Structure 1
Amino acid sequence: MRSAATGPGASAPGPTRRRFLMALLAIDRTSYYAVILSMGLMTLLVSVQVFARYVLSSSIDSATELARLFFVWTIFLAIPHGIKIGIHVGIDALVGVFPENFQKQLARLMALVSALLMAILFWLAIGAVADKWQQLMPTVPVAAAVFYIAVLICAGHSLLHLIAQALQVEPLPSAPGASVEGETS
């Protein structure tokens, strides 16, 4: 199976685009496994907490806070994967009446505007991380900034995908089992 980047009417990416795609692929796969790990830890922690509470009549003091932390990380690490494939809420009633070429150019413009917003969010998240670094979470001796680090990573990762969309660079498949050539198993 051929990838969309080398499909009919598309040319093979140059060396700079290829390096960008390979770096983005590495980030995507790392993020993908981090989402799985975070979801797994959240599920395990909540399950152990329910067992401890209802079977052992005990409780884990930090369970709620840690479960919330894992949930936040799961969501923010997963957002760029949705951006990558265009899964988002949108109303295209007006856009749908425009010619296809105009729709494509409008999509590129919106990707650029969104990339600008992600760059701003990235910058603001750096400030939030720095601001919250000295503050500890109530039940765990960990900086409250770990919540904002997830936002920082999300903004940076999303920015890269939005740049790729604006440049019309087709991303490589990043799910486990997908090869660099675009084949899935």
Structure 2
Amino acid sequence: MAAMTTDTPAPAAIRRMVAVFGLCGFAASLATRALDPLMAELARDFSAPHGQVALLATAFALPYALVQPVLGPVGDALGKRRIVTLCAVLLALMLALCALAPGLSWLFAARVASGLAAGGIFPLTLALFGDSVPLAQRQVAISRVLGCSILGQLCGGILSGLVAEHIGWRGVMAICAAVAVLAFLVLVTEARGRPRAPVGPRPRLGDALR
């Protein structure tokens, strides 16, 4: 068996990465579908047409997709772990704002902002695994993180269907925010003692758009 180089993470370190970033992927995906079963309740609470309230799904999903090409170069320049951690805390804050939204326009704005924050977690996580995990273990590790993300989407709808009757849609958003806080705290704890990522060249928006 070939000796593992000092730059190659041990299997335990890879499993820890999967657990830490799998939780981040779960938190980023949990809110994606959490409001879908609650559109009737939201329309009633805000006295708004169902068609207008249904746009809350797009308000999260579209920014989630559009921000990813931009945050890729930013992660290369400032450090991928640093940007994932920043996105996790922003996600927690925006989901908390969703739970506290006084009106539908505020909820739309908070959903857009939370979609932007969530969109920075997943692609940079994949890039981190590409940088850190040897090719022989990379596919399995990434597939487990993908599984956590998919599980988050499934659990979001199930969670809201099970508990919204008792705690309402605001309570569902509060739970999503709490999971994002947990992911942020785990990221910060795991990063202690780790050398700071070097700062790369300044990101250029034109490169990201191309």
The reply to whether TM is greater than 0.5 is no
Answer 1 or 2: higher relative contact order, Cα 8 Å, separation at least 6: 2
Higher radius of gyration, 1 or 2: 1
**Larger proportion of helix:** 2
- Give the TM-score range, shorter chain: 0.3 to 0.5
